[in-house]
Amino acid sequence: MDIDRLKQIAEAILLAAARPLTLDQLLALFDENERPGRADMRAALEALQGELDGRGIELVEVASGYRIQVSDEMQPWVSRLWEEKPARYSRALLETLALIAYRQPITRGEIEDVRGVSVSTSIMKTLQEREWVRVVGHREVPGHPAMYGTTKEFLDYFSLKSLDELPTLAELRDLSTIGEELQLDLSDIPEAQLAPANDDVEPTEEAGTIDVTAATDTAEDDSPAILH
């Protein structure tokens, strides 16, 4: 089977699939007597990826496999298909998620030590219900607290293949930067709300920024942010 035919088949399968598919899952859909080699299938996917470049949809590889999705620049128009507004999440939830992503495995107590405020049960419940965070073990200390880590669903949502693709901590100076790097829409939040007040966060090297390695709050729920 030639590459052009494989490319057409892969495009049809990925458009119909409701989830990312790995190379092995794609190959399993072929009859044994017509199944292409892994190298040919990968070449077809690379050709399809190049063909879709610059169009309204794109082929991306995420942690769970390959998927065809709407390109970022088309999102404003496509999002109008649905009347409901994007889910809104608090600043506290985003800080908690960032700490788990960068310091995993991490316990709830360790998150609280960094943020300087208790983490509400609702935040941890929301992160687990979205399947972005899961319990990966228990710390060998009295009480055996649960340790949390991110999931493949977290990587898939942010179009990442692995945690290595996360921006480095040196690049994340504040929540605005976190939002940009992780494709969070903070555009409708006034700049004054994104810059924490002096009594909310300990000063860092730059005024008005949050260092996810040393942030402390006095309130559990701050300015909301929007995730798509």
Q: Which CATH class is domain 88-226?
A: mainly alpha
Question: DSSP letters of 135-165?
Answer: EEEE-SSTT--EEEEE-HHHHHHTT-SSGGG
pLDDT value of position 68 = 94
Question: DSSP letters of 56-73?
Answer: SEEEEEETTEEEEEE-GG
Tens digit of pLDDT at every position of the chain (228 positions): 788 999 999 999 999 998 999 999 999 999 989 999 999 999 999 999 999 998 999 999 999 999 999 998 898 888 888 776 666 778 889 889 999 999 999 999 999 998 888 899 999 999 999 999 999 999 998 989 999 999 999 999 888 888 988 887 655 555 445 555 554 443 433 333 333 333 333 333 332 333 343 333 333 443 333 343
By residue count, the chain amounts to: 228
pLDDT value of position 207 = 29
Which fold does the domain 3-80 belong to in CATH? Arc Repressor Mutant, subunit A (1.10.10)
Q: Mention every residue, 6+ apart, whose C-beta is less than 8 A from residue 140.
A: none
pLDDT value of position 173 = 52
Return the SS3 of 185.
strand
Closest CA to 19 of 183, 157, 166, 133: 157
- Identical fold for domains 3-80 and 88-226, yes or no, is yes
Return the SS3 of 226.
strand
pLDDT value of position 80 = 84
pLDDT value of position 202 = 33
Q: Mention every residue, 6+ apart, whose C-beta is less than 8 A from residue 71.
A: 55, 56, 57, 58
Domain limits, the chain: 3-80, 88-226
Kindly report the three-state secondary structure assignment for every residue of 82-138. Answer: CCCCCCEEEHHHHHHHHHHHHHCCEEHHHHHHHHCCCCCHHHHHHHHHCCCEEEEEE
Q: Mention every residue, 6+ apart, whose C-beta is less than 8 A from residue 26.
A: 10, 13, 41, 66
pLDDT value of position 170 = 57
pLDDT value of position 59 = 94
Q: For residue 69, what are the β-bridge partners?
A: 58
Whether residue 167 is preceded by a cis peptide bond, meaning omega within 30 degrees of 0, is no
